[in-house]
Chain A
């Protein structure tokens, strides 16, 4: 029984309607009881089969969900159910602020978001590719582990907060505290590419990974005006196209012109950015870049002395 429980708990909610045949053993209680037990175990609130007509539609192997009337819990249960069925592409229509889209999903599914997704888009996710057609809100890629998020607009505050792997591409600008406490571990190297400007506290308490801020604006180049960049930074690298003044940096960040090796290292990410949003990678990379890195890996050592 213990074993069975564990197995079930690894299955997402949709299985209560379509249990795989292999798991049906003879002599076991079946039907309503089993469903009830599983339902209780999984805390299922809704499954896509129960949705209103037209909300959940399968088309050419894709799944399309009209989220206009859906709470985020209903929506995300449907998405997770579709992913568990093996769906490779999911399109979400009429998204207005539903939170946690794609969060916690551990398969390389493609999720296309039509609308403005809510906070914590792709939080904790491990593998999906999320494409947002418009702006995103706060907390994009919060603590994400792997996968890609592409935003064809602007993103709000704390983009890539605590991000541990994967890539985020934002076409336009980002708000405050992008890449706060982003971190890396061995092969896991998170990358955040911002096409426009960032607001203050970029890379605050950053512990690893790479941030590339291209400063591309509609009317050509502009000054990078963010302040407190790299405050508390103790790992990772920030590349900024253009110049910043000393007073714009946190005291834990050091600054120097990017080397040819640096440019070669960030080229693939800039090329990927250009693939998504257009532009010319050579033109972008031929401009002057600066590179910020932490003055110390333990800037607060001694702050809390024992």
Chain B
């Protein structure tokens, strides 16, 4: 089953859904389980490689079925920290040519390279995977009457994903990258050689697709700018969320409900300036009966949030990890229909679908807890991650 409206979104792509879903792999053996999510962060910005992530997500293998796995890592490109990094998957050379022409016209591309991979059992039919480190050309940004290069970047991602046949941007932030595909997550991690990257925030996802197709672009995390989202659950409000986001120029092109969360977070926090707590109040709004019992000021705030952003309420069961360059945020739906456990051991922060993998990667972890439904768990980097200097300083602290 496609999310409602997906056919319409495929407009502009010659060949429609079938072309777009090249590389898809259906399997008829169905194991019933749930997705797995895992996040690990060092609040001091100390960078570590992807090996513990593979250990942790492989520990929850029972929760995924080999139809999607992926990772997001922050702090992995310190030498290009000022540049946006596009990770793009191509179905064919034609899509690559068209995309590269588009990039050359709008960006100054400082580095273009194949994303290094190595053959791995369990991962096949990979698309062409390229990455580009680039800066928007100022003339193009001002020609679009935009002040913020981030906005220009979002529009460029939408343009590639919606209009260029066989090309999908799956990562578009600075000093971070998303790596994902069809397969078990630990295999995808080996395929992308994640033990060769070092980041201070890592999130991982093992997929068990329920309502949407398994294809490379539909694996988690979903990303826009430096936001990425991994998700266990299903968003039954996808249609209304998607229509609301369309009004702000976000086009949902990846055939998976989770995409809306990434765009909603970008809209609420980056563009509208909401705090993370208020963003949680929109996505997992308290029930009206709970709002009625709040103290007056809080009641007013939550009433206003629900009135303003009612269309961004996420309905249905979910637990998500949302991350950016300086934060890792855990959130579940308000009645917690999907699991999430948090852990903290000094500077090391964890969010996970299950408790065991946290202990598996950190033998001295003792403080773990189960967040309440709708309550955001916000793990914050001690220093803001916006500047290149900051990143280099943490690099010095890294082992």
Contacts and interface: CB of A to CB of B under 8 A. Distances in A.
B370 A137 contact: no
Given A137-B356, A156-B339, A97 B60 contact: yes
B59 A96 contact: yes
Interface of B: 59-60, 62, 289-290, 293, 335-336, 339, 341, 354-357, 359-360, 368, 370, 372-373
A135 B335 contact: no
B339 A118 contact: no
Given A97-B60, A199-B372, A247-B289, A118 B356 contact: yes
A96 B336 contact: no
Contacts of B356: 95-97, 115-118, 137
A96 B357 contact: yes
Nearest to A97: B356
Interface string A157-196: 1000000000000000101100000000000000000000
A128 B382 CA distance: 48
Contacts of A156: 339, 341, 355, 370
A178 B59 CA distance: 25
**Nearest 6 interchain pairs by C-beta:** A97-B356, A116-B356, A96-B356, A96-B360, A175-B370, A176-B336
A200 B359 contact: no
B368 A119 contact: no
A201 interface: yes
Contact of B339 (A97, A117, A138, A228): A138
A203 to B, nearest CB: 15
A99 B360 CA distance: 15
- For the residues of A in contact with B, the DSSP-based class is loop
Nearest to A119: B354
Given A154-B370, A156-B341, A199-B370, A116 B336 contact: no
Nearest to A135: B355
B354 A137 contact: yes
Interface string A131-156: 00011011000000000000000101
Nearest to A118: B356
A135 B60 contact: no
Interface of A: 72, 95-97, 99, 115-119, 134-135, 137-138, 154, 156-157, 173, 175-176, 199-201, 227-228, 247
A118 B355 CA distance: 8
23 contacts: A72-B62, A96-B357, A97-B59, A97-B60, A97-B357, A97-B360, A115-B356, A116-B355, A116-B356, A116-B359, A118-B354, A135-B368, A138-B339, A154-B368, A156-B370, A157-B370, A175-B370, A176-B370, A176-B373, A199-B370, A200-B335, A227-B290, A247-B293
A118 B36 CA distance: 13
Nearest to B293: A247
Contacts of B336: 157, 175-176, 199-200
A115 B357 CA distance: 11
Contacts of A199: 336, 370, 372
Given A96-B359, A97-B360, A201-B335, 9 more contacts: A115-B356, A116-B356, A116-B359, A118-B356, A137-B355, A156-B341, A156-B355, A199-B336, A200-B335
Which has the most chain A C-beta neighbours within 10 Å: B59, B336, B356, B368?
Answer: B356
Nearest to A94: B360
Nearest to B59: A97
B330 to A, nearest CB: 14
Contacts of B62: 72, 99, 118
A72 B335 CA distance: 30
A154 B293 CA distance: 30
Contacts of A154: 368, 370
A137 B36 CA distance: 14
A99 B31 CA distance: 15
Nearest to B360: A96
Contacts of A96: 59, 356-357, 359-360
Contacts of A95: 356
B362 to A, nearest CB: 12
Contacts of B368: 135, 154
Nearest to B62: A99
B338 to A, nearest CB: 9
Contacts of A118: 62, 354, 356
A97 B60 CA distance: 8
Nearest to B358: A116
A52 to B, nearest CB: 19
Contacts of B359: 96, 115-116, 134
Contacts of A176: 335-336, 370, 373
A20 B62 CA distance: 36
A176 B339 CA distance: 9
A157 B335 CA distance: 12
A117 to B, nearest CB: 8
A227 B373 CA distance: 11
A122 B368 CA distance: 23
A157 B360 contact: no
B308 to A, nearest CB: 26
A200 B290 CA distance: 13
Contacts of A247: 289, 293
B59 to A, nearest CB: 5
A200 B357 contact: no
Which has the most chain B C-beta neighbours within 10 Å: A116, A200, A201?
Answer: A116
A134 B59 CA distance: 18
Nearest to B369: A154
A200 B356 CA distance: 23
A97 B373 contact: no
A118 B356 CA distance: 7
Contacts of A99: 62
Nearest to B63: A119
A200 B370 contact: no
Contacts of B372: 199-200
A154 to B, nearest CB: 7
A130 B339 CA distance: 23
Nearest to B370: A175
A138 B356 CA distance: 11
B40 to A, nearest CB: 16
